């Protein structure tokens, strides 16, 4: 398991990051502990979570994931060996995060979020604290078909400088070590970089965005932005919420799957998505691999990747994801993937 420097920070994280958003909903505390035990045995030192989790977000379950991760760290006594990443929600009308009012990326809400996360995790410092999504219109969340560039600025957007100044205070207070973004655009990333260069607050070290065979939009502008500004990509949804495992092929609806339980996979059900997913899954089998290993191996192979955030609801699924590290990604595979990408583009941005 390779360890890679995260941006310009002093953090060295495993090339595989364990995503934990199923802990507290699809997975019990014991199952979450078992997943983290297995991941740690294989060299994973990087755990990603959020105040929002588990998924799907609900008032009655919100925060359980951090509590489960915290109980595992306490039981194993390994805080000094684990890099903890969590997130504060962006702009949301959901009132149960802040006790009866909508949440924004303003001082009071960020301070409320960090203190609650620290308490649930049972630690005094989070290594990487990320903004889950912006305080402005963007394609993430309730508007998955919105094109960011066409969204009108909101009259009450929280200025990026104001938000970043709060993170500066969190670093100075010792509550967080480093600052990251998620679900951001090139414009947003560069605005944060510009404010940091002015001395407003900490420099962004990471960007957590979706990246997979059916969503390579990161390559268009963000890859250059992140490379030149030394910002590490943390790729989420490498399996397109399970579609790139093949389990939904030909209309299958396996019991216990997220599609059956929650029906929240619309990002990967857009026009053209089904044909693209079927083509990549067939390609994987032609190369003698399961679709899941093929999809993970593609993400793992990207030269701009810092960490691939994998997720599972069972130990066999986790073994499958970790096993993708053994796949030798060949030029033949890359040529085949690129050829299909030229035809199909990014059906699931």
**Catalytic residue numbers, as ranges:** 53
Residue 314 CB coordination number (10 Å): 15
Spatial CA neighbour of 337 closest among 284, 263, 258: 284
* DSSP for 307-322, written as a single string: EEEE--SSHHHHHHHH
Q: How far apart are CA 45 and CA 217, in angstroms?
A: 28
∠ CA 81-83-84, rounded to 5°: 130
DSSP category for residue 157: P
Contact 313, 35 (CB under 8 A): no
Diameter over CA atoms, the chain: 55
* CB half-sphere exposure, 113, CA atoms < 13 A: 32
Q: In this structure, what token pair is assigned to residue 215?
A: 């969503």
């Amino acid at each position: 398991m390779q360890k890679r420097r995260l941006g310009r920070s002093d953090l060295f994280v495993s090339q595989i990051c364990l995503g934990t958003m199923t802990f507290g909903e699809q997975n019990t505390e014991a199952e979450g502990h078992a997943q983290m035990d297995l991941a740690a045995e294989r060299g994973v030192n990087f755990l990603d979570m959020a105040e929002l989790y588990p998924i799907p977000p609900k008032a009655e379950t919100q925060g359980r994931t951090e509590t489960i991760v915290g109980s595992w760290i306490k039981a194993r006594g390994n805080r000094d060996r684990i890099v903890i990443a969590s997130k504060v929600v962006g702009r949301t009308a959901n009132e149960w995060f802040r006790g009866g009012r909508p949440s924004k990326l303003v001082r009071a809400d960020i301070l409320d979020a960090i203190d609650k996360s620290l308490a649930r995790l049972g630690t005094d410092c989070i290594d990487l604290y990320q903004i889950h999504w912006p305080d402005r219109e963007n394609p993430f969340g309730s508007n998955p078909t919105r094109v960011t560039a066409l969204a009108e600025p909101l009259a009450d957007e929280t200025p990026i400088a104001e938000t970043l100044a709060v993170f500066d205070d969190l670093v100075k207070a010792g509550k967080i070590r480093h600052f990251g973004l998620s679900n951001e655009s090139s414009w947003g990333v560069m605005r944060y970089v510009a404010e940091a260069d002015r001395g407003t607050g900490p420099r962004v070290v990471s960007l957590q965005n979706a990246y997979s065979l059916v969503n390579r939009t990161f390559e268009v502008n963000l890859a250059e932005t992140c490379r030149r500004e030394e910002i590490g990509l943390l790729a989420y949804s490498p399996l397109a919420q399970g579609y790139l495992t093949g389990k939904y092929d030909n209309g299958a609806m396996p019991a216990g799957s997220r599609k059956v339980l929650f029906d929240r996979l619309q990002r990967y059900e857009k026009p053209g998505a089904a044909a693209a997913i079927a083509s990549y899954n067939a390609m994987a089998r032609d190369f003698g691999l399961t679709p899941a290993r093929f999809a993970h191996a593609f993400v793992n192979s990207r030269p701009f990747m810092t960490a691939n955030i994998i997720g599972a609801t069972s130990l066999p699924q986790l073994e499958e994801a970790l096993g993708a590290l053994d796949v030798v990604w060949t030029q033949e595979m890359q040529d085949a993937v690129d050829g299909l990408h030229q035809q199909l583009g990014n059906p699931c941005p």
